[in-house]
Chain A
């Protein structure tokens, strides 16, 4: 039973094993699952082994048992859903008229596209959540757009229901914060920190542990048994360079800074620098990029074992990267093209990564990203990307 469900989970990329699926069958045959709610929790406990996949599980569960795509209030899905439901609405023009606050006669003036647009605008117009009432889109009201209300032909926009059925619970997507895709957020700070904690050096096992050696030798009835420990190694130095120019980076700067500041104690030294767009002759120690410039050449004197982490969207016009004088401020002029500066940094620091808040699938559309990727290994600024970046920084 539910073989199709199992394969949908598998195709979505959740690691589900046949053994666990058989175990679910066993639970079913033992009569442990009495209704869909039980099935939702039991199947999740048995099949899904990490909270990172709970969100995906919720979506697939809702899809499989409800058969409907989940509307996302800010996505293209909603447009689709609205269009599909429009036909339904138009059979009862008075509902639509009421829902959108229009007169029935006026409705005829609108084309279907306009109606969909109107509906979406109405959604955006709402600032708070709307419950009850009869005009706006919300829950528990009489408007056909919204849900949990008593309007029979109503359209479902997603939300929290009062009597929680499993499907509705699944539709709430309570685990969205835990899923691995999606940008790094404050909520994921703890998880991200744990990944950074792997930035700890491990030396070879080359120190003799005398106490243990004596103990093991005794246990071995006098036959000498030498026990080695790992030698201590210095903590790491970390250099963080953040692109803090332009709105595209704004949401990520506090997250990245907070992340590394919290992890500061585990590093020997953490230095943060700022730049705009890409790196030219200098970077700055102050976020305003004015008071404390540091020449790129000076980095040649720093410890080459330090880990260099650059955070930026790496998106710019090619000439900004490739030509001398590419800097976008008119009062500065760079003799050496930015790309040479980046190469210099990559050569100076043996361990370096570039973290990009843009998703990987968007990278190929921007040429400058492709160019920079040839110099620095690039990772997404997500939990998974961070994990890979740390692994890369720690590799020999």
Chain B
């Protein structure tokens, strides 16, 4: 794209703390018109990034939530045969039964293609789908067009969407797929980053509370034998719960009494481990 110099630059959004590495990668991907594949632990803000880009660049956001049973065609378009059958029997709609195009509905990728303005297309949790889905989808995203067989029509993208793909890496993605994306792995935020994130979500939080919450949080993450470690989302919900509780004092946390462990640990085995470990710490 020749006007890439003029492309609006992504600078972060109101509720998203952006790491400079990631900003550079997002901007390069937008300029190179490459899909950006994001991997990382759950709760590192992969999905949030797409929302932040849409907000910052003032583009509409279209989200395709990938499911394991999904076929590529579902993401492109749907031929609503049932409605057409219904209309042909009863004939009480404004649609023209002899015109199949009236019964074509765009899927999420289709919507992104026919949109009148440039959009951000988030393809969430691509790893859930099978390999064929992934490869075929990238073919379409590279060519920026697909055919609707029923009406023998080619849909071409009016504007190349900004494409963000996330993966939780349940499966390894195929090589041809990886070859066509830029890649970034979002590491879990360190303490400094986490403090910024907390301040974005709770602008009026007391420094002491923020500090002790973050300390406790990282301590709990380091407990051995935990399968699903608490992530940013859990920390934010936990602080919210603490702030709501009138009986809560910072001093309790300092003493090692940790309320609402259930907000942080969502698997019952993990919860039990955390409970016994923290109880032991309290007694010592």
Q: A interface vs B, CB < 8 Å? A: 15, 17, 19-20, 23, 26-27, 30-33, 37-38, 41-42, 44-46, 48-51, 54, 174-175, 178, 186, 189-191, 193-194, 197, 218-219, 254, 258, 262
Whether A32 and B182, one on each chain, are in contact in the complex, defined by CB atoms closer than 8 angstroms, is: no
Within the complex, the shortest CB–CB distance from A391 to chain B, in Å, comes to 12
B24-32, B59-67, B194-202, B244-252: which lies at the interface: B24-32
Partner of B178, one of A26, A30, A50, A197: A50
Whether B28 contacts A32 by the Cβ 8 Å rule is: yes
Contact yes or no, B32 A27, CB < 8 A: yes
Nearest Cβ on chain A to B192's Cβ, whole angstroms: 12
Q: A37-B24, A194-B170 are in contact. List 10 more A-B contacts (CB 8 A).
A: A15-B175, A27-B31, A30-B5, A38-B24, A41-B21, A41-B24, A42-B28, A45-B184, A50-B183, A51-B185
Q: Point out residues on B near A: beta carbons under 8 Å.
A: 4-5, 20-21, 24-25, 27-29, 31-32, 34, 36-37, 39, 41, 81, 169-172, 175, 178-179, 181-185, 187, 224-225, 227
Q: B25 to A41, Cβ gap below 8 A?
A: yes
Residue of A nearest to B42 (CB): A190
How many inter-chain residue pairs (CB < 8 Å) link A and B? 75
Which residue in chain A gives the minimum CB-CB distance to B227?
Answer: A262
Is A26 a contact partner of B227 (Cβ separation < 8 A)?
no
Task: Report how far A54 CA is from B184 CA in the complex, Å.
Answer: 10
Contacts of B183 in A (CB 8 A): 44-45, 48-50
Q: Which listed residue, A26, A37, A42, A54, touches B185 by the CB 8 Å rule?
A: A54
The answer to whether A19 and B179 have CB atoms under 8 Å apart is: yes
Most interface-central of A19, A178, A189, A197 (chain B CB within 10 A): A189
Q: How far is the CB of B238 from chain A (nearest CB, A)?
A: 21
What residues on A are CB-neighbors of B4 within 8 Å? 30
A17 surroundings in chain B (CB, below 8 A): 179
A101 to B118, CA, bound (A): 66
A32 to B26, CA, bound (A): 11
Tell me the bound Cα distance from A43 to B41 in angstroms: 22
A20 in contact with B179 (CB, 8 Å): yes
Across the interface, name the chain A residue whose C-beta is closest to B23: A41
Nearest 6 interchain pairs by C-beta: A51-B185, A49-B178, A45-B25, A45-B182, A41-B21, A49-B183
> For residue A46, which residues in chain B have a CB less than 8 angstroms away from its CB?
28, 32, 34, 182
Which residues of B sit under 8 angstroms from A49, Cβ to Cβ? 37, 178-179, 181, 183
17 A-B residue contacts at CB 8 Å?
A23-B34, A27-B31, A27-B32, A30-B4, A30-B31, A37-B24, A45-B184, A48-B183, A50-B178, A50-B183, A51-B185, A175-B185, A178-B185, A190-B41, A193-B227, A194-B171, A197-B170
- Among A19, A32, A219, A258, the residue within 8 A (CB) of B27 is A32
Interchain nearest-CB distance for A15 vs B (Å): 7
**Which residue of the partner chain A has the closest CB to B39?**
A51
Interface centre among B39, B169, B185, B224 (most CB of A within 10 A): B185
Kindly provide the distance from the CB of A191 to the nearest chain B CB, expressed in whole angstroms: 8
Q: How far is the CA of A254 from the CA of B225 in the complex (A)?
A: 9
Chain B residues near A27: list those with CB within 8 A: 28, 31-32
- Nearest residue (CB) in B for A54 is B185
With A15-B175, A41-B25 in contact, is A258–B31 under 8 Å at CB?
A: no
Which chain B residues lie closer than 8 Å to A45 at the CB level?
25, 28-29, 36, 182-184
Nearest CB in chain A to that of B182: its residue = A45
CB distance from B222 to the nearest CB of A (A): 9
CB distance from B248 to the nearest CB of A (A): 31
CB of B179 within 8 A of CB of A31, answer no
Complex CA gap A337/B230 in Å reads 49
Interchain CA distance A41-B20 in the complex, whole Å = 9
A219 touches B81 (CB 8 A): yes
Cα–Cα, bound, A219→B225 (Å)? 52
Query: Taking CB as reference atom, which chain A residue is nearest B30?
Result: A32
Which of chain B's residues have a CB closer than 8 A to the CB of A26?
32
Complex: A350 Cα to B170 Cα, angstroms: 28
Assembly CA distance A219 to B39 (angstroms): 39
Query: Which chain B residue shows the least CB distance to A219?
Result: B81
Return the chain B residue nearest A43 by Cβ.
B28
Please state if A189 and B227 are interface contacts (CB–CB under 8 Å). Answer: yes
The closest CB in chain A to the CB of B180 belongs to A19
Shortest A387–chain B CB gap in Å is 9
Q: In angstroms, how far is the closest chain B Cβ from the Cβ of A394?
A: 14
CB distance from B104 to the nearest CB of A (A): 15
A42 to B32, CA, bound (A): 11
In the complex the two chains form, is A194's CB within 8 Å of B34's CB? no
> Are the C-beta atoms of A258 and B185 separated by less than 8 Å?
no
